[in-house]
Chain A
Amino acid sequence: MSQDTINTTADNRPHDGDPNAPVLEVENLHVEFRTRDGVAKAVTGVTFDLLPGETLAILGESGSGKSVTAQAIMGILDTPPGFVTQGSVRFRGVDIQALPEKERRRYRGEKIAMIFQDALSSLNPVYSVGYQIGEMFRVHRGASRADAKTKAIELMDRVHIPAARQRVNDYPHQFSGGMRQRIMIAIALSLDPDIIIADEPTTALDVTVQAQVMQLLADLQAESKMGLILITHDLGVVADVADKISVMYAGRLIEQARSLDLYSNPAHPYTERLLAAIPRVDMKGQELYTIKGIPPNLTDIPAGCAFHPRCPYAQSICSEKTPPLEVVPGDRRSACHFWKEVLDGSLQIR
């Protein structure tokens, strides 16, 4: 783990040649929030990559650093107080983290687009949805007003908004929650980006609408082969759609695995506890399991493994040494000193 400051010297050679090379490589990302109450280490040493057409879910409680990671990738952190202190974000080999803002801007929307949690507040209330979708073409492609509107209608059709032609001049508050989120998706989709980052895209929606919006995202991804980073706290949402899941806790990646592996046999006690905390129909009548304690204060993260105060298996080493994100057999990783024991279930709860 290199300790130098922002990595500006990362290799910037684009590797267009290999179609299976990762579109996005995040390496050793560190983000801090400098507030009056102290420095909050929101993201510490996060590393992952995303292959073309792949869906990666980043899972964690609020405050685990998952949204901050997304904002750092997009380059839309509020600075101050948020600062990327280390690490690189490479898009097709280009370290976009190191680019000047002017060039960086071209990646937003064009290469990497983002969908936010609350579509009502994320859409500008004073412009029509057609204007807000069309703005992408007008600014990035220099399209005329009329062309932009035609494109906006096409996109609204594509995300299955009924009567797109009639509704293109309506304002965000005139749409339902699910329809508004579709408009956000249409904006993200507009320039055919290689990656879409969806930050809790369905959290604010009703359960039935959630499923529709997730299905839409999955369909769109299948037809356009774009990469999808799905940020959520809801294990249920990611189960069907994600290829890979990364679990974050207190700003660190603590486990990474293919979805199926992670669900069937977690390699980190936190993931194990998370899965145990999902209400299940076949467990009806039994007490619902909850993880004891609260997530740590990011200005004062416990020494060693940040999860140790809440971990049922914690031993003395856990409060002394921070476990590295080790490669675990089966193309997965875990940041637990006892991943082997967690995997084969041989650990005893103290």
Chain B
Amino acid sequence: MPDPSSKTVMPSQDASAAALTLGASSESKSLGKPRSLWSDAWHDLRRNPTFVISALLILFLILVAVFPSLFTSTDPKRCDLIMGNNGRAPGHPFGFDRQGCDVYARVIYGARASVTVGILVTSGVVLIGGFIGAIAGFYGGAAGSLLSRLTDMFFAIPILLFAIVFLSGFPFRNIWTVVAAIMLVGWPSVARIMRGSVISVKESDFVTAARALGASDMRILARHILPNAIAPVIVVATISLGLFIVLEATLSYLGIGLPGSTVSWGGDINDAQASLRTAPHVLLYPSVALSITVLAFMLLGDAVRDALDPKLR
């Protein structure tokens, strides 16, 4: 994590060129209003077409997830076996799946499951992983290494297997078991990033200064360290949101994620697999919807990372 204060004087993409022009230009800029890391990042983001496009796409997806009925009047669960695997028909632009359900309606209604799981898991993982990572990084010592070993333990088990084993222990399936399973495997990477970030910020002079002024541990952590250490976590969280959606779809595809009664892209892809040879279109539409959704979050994460860490551009 680069020192945030250097961020404002590093607008140019190349260090050597920057070093040349900056002596003066930063001076003249700082005569105006000094920009913080966040306002600087926001300034960059608004001008980044990747960010604008992905953010609009995500807003659209959230709209679809919350109000699917705005986009289709067909009930995704009203199916007619006679229409099974038929191609497109008037009013049914994507055709029908094996059960004779309208693929377009199922694609629209499937957004809710993915977006819900993605957002719930990400919020949970940032809270849990962020808390554990911050504590481990801040206190170091025995508590720190204990927590580090704990994250190591979780890393040692392949993510997908871990989630599967966890889910297989439940006699029932619903959205909460899936969210819990993904949170279980997702928190360690956030914790690890948070820990590293807190450790690097902990060393900085302004923290030493705050300590010298007699600020309490909690105050130092909350007021001085976290605001400066959170940036990498936000980047990882945005990118991970996409990965969590993939994981949910994978679990549903394997038949142990969301229950069949929930319309989900992963579940629909699983159903469509059986008729891949005869009706590839049934598999295509939910796959494309899923991929675009994940891509939107990935692009957003990429744009946010570029804005928060201009070095890598």
Contacts and interface: CB of A to CB of B under 8 A. Distances in A.
Binding between chains A and B: yes
A174 B74 CA distance: 72
Contacts of A37: 11-12, 21, 25
Nearest to A77: B16
A299 B21 contact: yes
A81 B23 contact: no
Contacts of A297: 21, 23-25, 28
Contacts of B18: 35
A215 interface: no
Interface string B19-49: 1110111011000000000000000000000
A296 interface: yes
Contacts of A283: none
B20 A42 contact: yes
Given A35-B12, A36-B12, A294-B27, A81 B17 contact: yes
B13 interface: yes
Contacts of A294: 23-24, 27
Contact of B21 (A35, A78, A80): A35
Interface in B181-200: none
Interface residues of B, number: 15
A157 to B, nearest CB: 35
B12 A63 contact: no
Contacts of B19: 62-63
B217 interface: no
A37 B21 CA distance: 9
Nearest to A78: B16
B21 A40 contact: yes
B200 to A, nearest CB: 19
A62 B24 CA distance: 11
Contacts of A299: 21, 25
Contacts of A78: 14, 16-17
A295 interface: yes
Q: Is the interface of A mostly helix, strand, loop or mixed?
A: loop
A62 B14 CA distance: 17
Given A36-B12, A37-B11, A63 B23 contact: yes
Contacts of A42: 20
Interface string A226-246: 000000000000000000000
Contact of B17 (A35, A62, A295, A296): A35
Nearest to A42: B20
A33 interface: yes
Interface string A24-65: 000000000101111010100000000000000000001100
A82 B27 CA distance: 23
B28 A36 contact: no
A80 B12 CA distance: 13
Interface in A58-105: 62-63, 68, 78, 80-82
Query: Which of A42, A68, A81 is packed against the most chain B CB atoms within 10 Å?
Result: A81
A86 to B, nearest CB: 18
A298 interface: yes
Contacts of B17: 33, 35, 40, 78, 81-82
Contacts of A33: 14, 16-17, 20-21
Contacts of A36: 11-13
A36 B25 CA distance: 13
A85 to B, nearest CB: 15
Query: Which of B13, B18, B23 is packed against the most chain A CB atoms within 10 Å?
Result: B23
A63 B20 CA distance: 5
Interface string B197-224: 0000000000000000000000000000
Interface in A208-252: none
A78 B23 CA distance: 19
A296 B25 CA distance: 9
Interface in A289-317: 294-299
Given A35-B18, A36-B11, A37-B25, 16 more contacts: A35-B12, A35-B13, A35-B14, A36-B12, A37-B11, A37-B12, A40-B17, A40-B20, A63-B19, A63-B24, A68-B20, A80-B14, A294-B24, A295-B24, A297-B23, A298-B21
Interface of A: 33, 35-38, 40, 42, 62-63, 68, 78, 80-82, 294-299
Closest 9 CB pairs of A and B: A297-B24, A33-B17, A81-B17, A35-B17, A63-B23, A40-B21, A35-B12, A81-B14, A297-B25
Interface of B: 11-14, 16-21, 23-25, 27-28
29 contacts: A33-B14, A33-B16, A33-B17, A33-B20, A33-B21, A35-B14, A36-B13, A37-B12, A37-B21, A37-B25, A38-B21, A40-B17, A63-B24, A68-B20, A78-B14, A78-B16, A78-B17, A80-B14, A81-B14, A81-B16, A82-B16, A82-B17, A294-B23, A294-B27, A297-B21, A297-B23, A297-B25, A298-B20, A299-B25
